[in-house]
Structure 1
Amino acid sequence: EIDPCEKLDCGEHEWCGNKDGVYSCFSDEHYPRPNNESYGPLYPISGNTTQPALDGSSPRIVLHQPFVYFGQPYNQIYVNHNGHITFNNPWGIHIPQSFPMYGTRDIIAPFWTIFDNTQTGLVYYKQYTSGNILNQATEDINNYFPQFNFTASWVFVATWHEIPYWLHNNSQTTVQAVLISGGQYSFVLMNYGNISPNRWKVQVGYDTINSIHHLTVPGSFSSNTSGNYSVFRLNSNVNVPGRWAFRLDHGSRGCTFN
């Protein structure tokens, strides 16, 4: 059987994905395809960048609007270099732990692994309270969760852009977490660009204090987390290859996947 991705022969900075049963080449907005053909799932990559450091983090980021995470409103956030976001404090731990951790922190992990941005790669973060990004977020959430008649009032975009893995300086992986809130609702989009092959384990999902609410995206800690056939980049729970969307303002106890 012929591999449909090999047949497409996607170019540099592109990846193969399945949308509506059709395999296509996708790229992020830093590397647009000719004639503005279909882009990948990434939101614009811009904003402040963190200081490069092994197991580092952003400074404390004061939010323009509170973000409610399973009933807990937060006014600050930290973007940690190893592919996760925390709220009360930065967290430098690099070896991923499987969810549920039954720990003492709330965490959102679009790609928790052992990154090293000391030589190349940048971690971006930016928040929005007006403009086209809010319109895009509103449209996306209403497509994925049409029952809520949602209007975004705040968006926070964190991007780990072309980050190498530890001891793999030639690797480049791009992942993104887009936090979206409006009214009583909170959501996250986990977006995946190019994901280099990786020998380290990867946890994707979220967890809460004492793991009252937690979720693990299928494929975490498997052999299919990275490379051309990364399950996170090729698959989706909202029919957009490389994008996963979850509601975060409340949820059921002990959820593995929804």
Structure 2
Amino acid sequence: MKPSFALLLLILGAVTNVQPEQEKASLLYPYGPDQRDHKNPKLDDGTSKELSLAVPFTFYGKEHRSLYVNNNGVISFGTRVSQYTPDPFPLADGRPFVAPYWADVDNVLGGDVFYRETTDPTLLARVTKDINQYFPAIPFTATWAFVATWDHVAYYGSTTNKGNTFQALLTTDTKTSFIILNYRDIQWTTGAASDGDAETGLGGTPAHAGFNSGDESHFYNIPGSQTAAILNITHTSNVDVPGRWVFQVDDFKVIGVSPDVPKVPDGNSCWL
């Protein structure tokens, strides 16, 4: 018996709704308990312990052999970052770090922060393929990766179930280093202690995304940082993949930033 026309419409509608979610899911590299990830404690403004790396990771010309995964959307080198209201880059205090989404995360209220260091050949092959696609002029075969994922994390003072899911992947072949930032679902920009609205997670001082070298000269602010436009980072990209930003960070370079990506107010966006 053939399905009715109404049933066909329901099936087509279901397929239409599922596909975007599948695409969003495929943006992230595998994470979570199935990947034997470690998990940060449930602690407002908390961090991981200092994590020693099996191989040095070069960031802005300096080798780092350890890092911290901070609950507030930052991967830092040399020092923890408990600060919850973001500052624009460059920072004057010499802290080198990557800010996938620097804002006031509260994983006590919801969500988890996962991380792992890996040499899994399946993941490294996928990362290599992606990097080669985005940087075809640079010979690169990933030999190591570090994956940190903020999974449906809540904001401080939240009175809702809103959550943000984003990810940072660090990778190297021991000479060249890249960082891939993935944004699957961004529902809030600001915690209540940063003057955000407890019901919406918006307003106040919004999240910041980018890189700070620590030398007060070299930095990059992803367009939209610390404005309401950062909520749309799931739709922006410098590699033509909505929700993904990719950077070479050993000798920092920015490629392919589209001219129609929203600019940071006052021209506060540069790379050197």
Q: TM-score range by the shorter chain?
A: 0.7 to 0.9
Q: From the two aligned structures, give the one with the greater strand fraction.
A: 1
Change (3 A) 1:155 1:41: same
* Counterpart secondary structure, 2:224: coil
Q: Which structure has the larger Rg over C-alpha atoms? A: 2
2:104 counterpart letter in structure 1: I
Change (3 A) 1:8 1:190: farther
Q: Which position in structure 2 is the counterpart of 1:53?
A: 43
Q: Which position in structure 1 is the counterpart of 2:132?
A: 142
2:73 counterpart letter in structure 1: G
* Counterpart secondary structure, 2:114: strand
1:98 counterpart letter in structure 2: P
Q: Deviations over 1:201-238 (max 9, x none)?
A: 11100001122310011111121222xxx1x1011111
Correspondent of 2:168 among 172, 177, 181:
177
Question: Which is further off, 152-161 or 191-200?
Answer: 191-200
* Counterpart secondary structure, 2:133: helix
Q: Which position in structure 1 is the counterpart of 2:20?
A: 26
Q: Which position in structure 2 is the counterpart of 1:30?
A: none
Q: Distance in 1 between matches of 2:65 and 2:171?
A: 14
Confirm whether residue 219 of structure 1 aligns to residue 224 of structure 2. yes
Q: Distance in 2 between matches of 1:113 and 1:68?
A: 25
Contact 2:211 2:220 in 1 (8 A): yes
1:41 counterpart letter in structure 2: L
Change (3 A) 1:174 1:184: same
2:270 counterpart letter in structure 1: T
Change (3 A) 1:255 1:222: closer
Change (3 A) 1:9 1:41: same
Confirm whether residue 90 of structure 1 aligns to residue 80 of structure 2. yes
Change (3 A) 1:8 1:148: farther
TM-score, normalised to structure 2, is: 0.78
Confirm whether residue 41 of structure 1 aligns to residue 27 of structure 2. yes
2:151 counterpart letter in structure 1: H
Gaps of 5+ in 2: 1-12, 190-201, 254-267
Change (3 A) 1:38 1:92: closer
Consecutive aligned runs of 4 or more in structure 1 exceeding 2 Å deviation: 7-11, 37-40
Question: Which is further off, 209-218 or 237-246?
Answer: 209-218
Q: Distance in 2 between matches of 1:106 and 1:10?
A: 43
Change (3 A) 1:255 1:171: closer
**Aligned pairs for 1:104-183 within 5 A:** 104-168=94-158, 169-183=160-174
1:202 counterpart letter in structure 2: A
Q: Which position in structure 2 is the counterpart of 1:241?
A: 242
Q: By how many angstroms is 1:43 displaced?
A: 0.8
Q: Distance in 1 between matches of 2:93 and 2:137?
A: 33
Q: Distance in 2 between matches of 1:219 and 1:10?
A: 29
Contact 1:49 1:123 in 2 (8 A): yes
Q: Which position in structure 2 is the counterpart of 1:19?
A: none
Q: By how many angstroms is 1:129 displaced?
A: 1.6
Question: Aligned pair count?
Answer: 227
Q: By how many angstroms is 1:62 displaced?
A: 1.1
Change (3 A) 1:142 1:55: same
Q: By how many angstroms is 1:45 displaced?
A: 1.5
Confirm whether residue 100 of structure 1 aligns to residue 52 of structure 2. no
Q: By how many angstroms is 1:255 displaced?
A: 7.1
Gaps of 5+ in 1: 1-6, 15-24, 28-32
Q: Percent identity?
A: 33
Q: From the two aligned structures, give the one with the greater helix fraction.
A: 2
C-alpha RMSD over aligned residues: 2.3
Confirm whether residue 194 of structure 1 aligns to residue 199 of structure 2. no
